[in-house]
Amino acid sequence: MGTDLTFSSRRSPVVCLHGCVASSQPLASSIGLDVLKRGGNAADAAVAIAAALAVTEPCSTGPGGDAFCLFYNGKTGEIRGINSSGRFPRALTLDFLEGQGYTAENPPSVFDALNVTVSGALACWCDTVQLLGSHKLSLQEVLSGAVELAEVGFPVAELTAHHWANWKSALRDAGKGGELMIDGHAPKCGQVFQNAGLARTLKELGERGKPAFYQGRVAQAIVDVINQNGGVMTLDDLSSHDSEVVTPISTEYKGVCLWELPPNSQGLAALLTLNIMENFPQLKAKGHNSSDYMHVLVEAVRLALTDALRYLGDSSHVTIPLETLLDKGYSHQRAQLISTDRLEPGLMTESDTVYFCVRDSEKNACSFVNSNHMEENSSKLCCMWSHFFPAGQWLVNLEEGIDQKVAEELKRRGHRVNWPVSGHKRSQFGRGQIIAVGDWWNPSVTQGDRPSRVLWAGSDPRADGCAQGCCLNLWF
């Protein structure tokens, strides 16, 4: 495949009735749908997809990262959350870091073994099945599809092969990663890749649950490799990890209630952005992706991230004024800072993450994030976005398809702009998945025209994935 990566085809939305999945890998979507057909619910299918993505897309996700789950109960309407982000080792104190010569101005490299936290992903998988699953399928049955992919092998997808190749040097620099190569090279598109080590770990996880990863053979291997590279993680750090069941936070935007996990999750930034954007109803008349629209959106994201990164932290150690931050009056004050000639500085970090979603025939829904944070973070084991420069200025990246005049106008208003971002670099804008109940966004369709039980789904074309659904109630 050439570097241009032109998107010359189109895909219709997937419309179905009795369950739907959407992820960044077709094989993972197929495994998730299979779990639904075998009697599992949305939570079971989400974990099956997470495990399958760990096999098929290791440059984005895996057992070395963290995971976050939002679950909607179709019978009660209750929304529950699981936060399984890992903590730093207990020995990694400020005194220790200062003793090593590190300061706030001179911190360890982001790739330093000292920055490796306890991976929470697999604990989240186990807890999601136990607390939110159907209990019709065991964890072993839920993970069986991913185990087979890893054991038997799978043909690597096109976009994944490209990112895998870019990941190769990081693995070599870490002195590890041979198990993620074929004869020392990243697998090419269509080449069958097997991962016997991961298959063994997933199989043991299915048989023994969390102790298979956080104690014993795997835990010792994690501690050994981190300590060999200068880290301070211990077996106790791993064995004491547990997920947190949390109460999601929300805001209402144009009549739609949006839910996110509370801090330390960065979901707060999305809610703050929407609250700020709500103060600009005139933007609709300006046109989607117009220069006015893009300018206000960039500034809203900037302000929201400034607040989020100022307050985000471990809620067990810091007080986060969520009620104040999510108050509509506060967002109105923040919106007053946005003008055509003033920029507000902020911060942003980069990560490598997969997002996927599931909806089952019982109207349960599961929204799931499985993250490595950064590609290299675990190697020893999101149309527009902006990032921050040390000098205090943001770079606004604009994807091809945004009019050149818009880019030039944003520059005139003082933005630092990178346009057009094309080819494989488009993946930096995120790879979203969506499942909607009814086409409620279509203003020409009234609720009585089409039954709201119809599911509409799609997968971002910047990834290899797809949405899959079923119109026959074939659950066993």
DSSP state of 342: B
Catalytic residue chosen out of the listed positions 61, 117, 251, 353: 353
CA distance linking residue 115 with residue 92, whole number of Å: 9
CA distance linking residue 345 with residue 310, whole number of Å: 12
Q: Is 15 left (phi over 0), alpha (psi -120 to 50) or beta?
A: beta
Beta strand pairing status for 394-399 and 416-421?
parallel
CA distance linking residue 63 with residue 55, whole number of Å: 9
Long-range own/partner contacts, residues 391-398 (CB < 8 A, 24 or more apart): 392/345, 393/343, 393/345, 394/298, 394/302, 394/343, 394/345, 394/346, 394/348, 396/294, 396/298, 397/421, 397/428, 397/429, 398/294
**Contacts of residue 223, Cβ cutoff 8 Å, sequence gap at least 6:** 233, 234, 235, 238
For the residues of 346-411, what is the DSSP string, one character each? ------EEEEEEEE-TTS-EEEEEEEEESGGGGTT---EEEEE-TTS-EEEEEEBTB-HHHHHHHH
CA distance linking residue 25 with residue 56, whole number of Å: 7
60 CB burial (10 A radius; 0-12, 13-18, 19+): buried
Bridge partners for 456 per DSSP? 15, 436
Structure tokens at 38: 């075998």
CA distance linking residue 451 with residue 121, whole number of Å: 37
Catalytic site includes residue 353: yes
Rg of the chain over all Cα atoms, to the nearest angstrom: 22
DSSP state of 57: -
3-state secondary structure of 36: helix
**Contacts of residue 81, Cβ cutoff 8 Å, sequence gap at least 6:** 68, 69, 70, 71, 245, 246, 247, 248, 261, 262
The gap between the terminal CA atoms of the chain, to the nearest Å, is 41
* Torsion angle in degrees (nearest 10) through CA of 234, 235, 239, 244: 20
Yes or no: say if 355 and 369 are a contact pair by the CB < 8 Å rule. yes
CA distance linking residue 459 with residue 470, whole number of Å: 16
Catalytic positions:
353
